[in-house]
């Protein structure tokens, strides 16, 4: 959940944000957002004084720590939201036949379930295209083999660099 909070703040399009706005936009409680920000400040991914995500630290954590802290967990075939190489821009660059989805009852795709970083991911991703793109790229990086990881890494760096 902490990474979801940080990414939402990083991609926040409206200038200054409030904890209430972040919580509402990613479908979690205000207390959870507040606690996540405190934890992320303790590990130097967020600066509470400037209220900004520390971009270089976040990039380093996503690319070097996240795959170990949050290893990929697959489930059975289900309905959900396309992720990893089943979503653009990676699906145009990959020839992988197996579709992968975050389980979500209102999803419009079907494939092998990949458990998201936290339960709020599918709903939050549907409401924010940039957040969705970053979350499935992170999953592609966590789940992929060498080629998929390299493509995802390039796209993650682009998204973080364009902010």
Q: In terms of domains, do 150 and 103 share one?
A: yes
Q: Chain-wide mean pLDDT for the chain?
A: 92
Q: Rg (Cα) of the chain, in Å, rounded?
A: 15
From 39, 68, 97, the end of a domain falls on: 68
Q: In terms of domains, do 75 and 120 share one?
A: yes
Cβ atoms of residues 31 and 39 within 8 Å: no
Write out the two tokens for 91.
């699906």
Cβ atoms of residues 87 and 136 within 8 Å: yes
Residue in 79, 89, 86 with CA at minimum distance from that of residue 100: 86
Q: In terms of domains, do 145 and 121 share one?
A: yes
Number of structural domains in the chain: 2
Instruction: Provide the domain limits for residue 7.
Output: 2-68
Give per-residue burial for 23-40: e unless 16+ CB within 10 Å, then b.
bebbebeeebbeebbeeb
For the full predicted model, state whether its pTM sits above 0.85.
yes
Q: In terms of domains, do 88 and 22 share one?
A: no
Q: In terms of domains, do 138 and 88 share one?
A: yes
pLDDT in tens, 103-140: 999 999 999 999 999 999 999 999 999 999 999 999 99
Using the predicted structure, report yes or no on whether residue 101 has a pLDDT greater than 80. Answer: yes
pLDDT in tens, 38-89: 999 999 999 999 999 999 999 999 999 999 999 999 999 999 999 886 556 6
pLDDT in tens, 134-159: 999 999 999 988 888 998 999 999 99
């Amino acid at each position: 959940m902490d990474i979801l909070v940080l990414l939402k703040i990083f991609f926040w399009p409206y200038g200054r944000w409030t904890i209430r706005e972040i919580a509402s936009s990613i479908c979690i409680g205000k207390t959870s957002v507040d606690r996540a920000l405190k934890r992320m400040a303790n590990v130097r991914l967020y600066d509470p004084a400037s209220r900004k995500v520390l971009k270089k630290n976040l990039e380093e954590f996503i690319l070097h720590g996240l795959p170990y802290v949050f290893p990929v967990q697959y489930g059975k075939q289900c309905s959900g939201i396309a992720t990893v190489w089943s979503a653009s821009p990676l699906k145009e660059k990959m020839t992988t036949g197996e579709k992968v989805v975050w389980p979500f009852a209102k999803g419009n795709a079907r494939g092998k379930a990949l458990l998201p970083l936290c339960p709020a991911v599918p709903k939050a991703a549907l409401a924010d295209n940039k957040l969705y793109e970053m979350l499935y790229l992170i999953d592609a990086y966590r789940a992929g083999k060498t080629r998929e990881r390299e493509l995802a890494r390039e796209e993650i760096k682009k998204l973080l660099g364009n902010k």
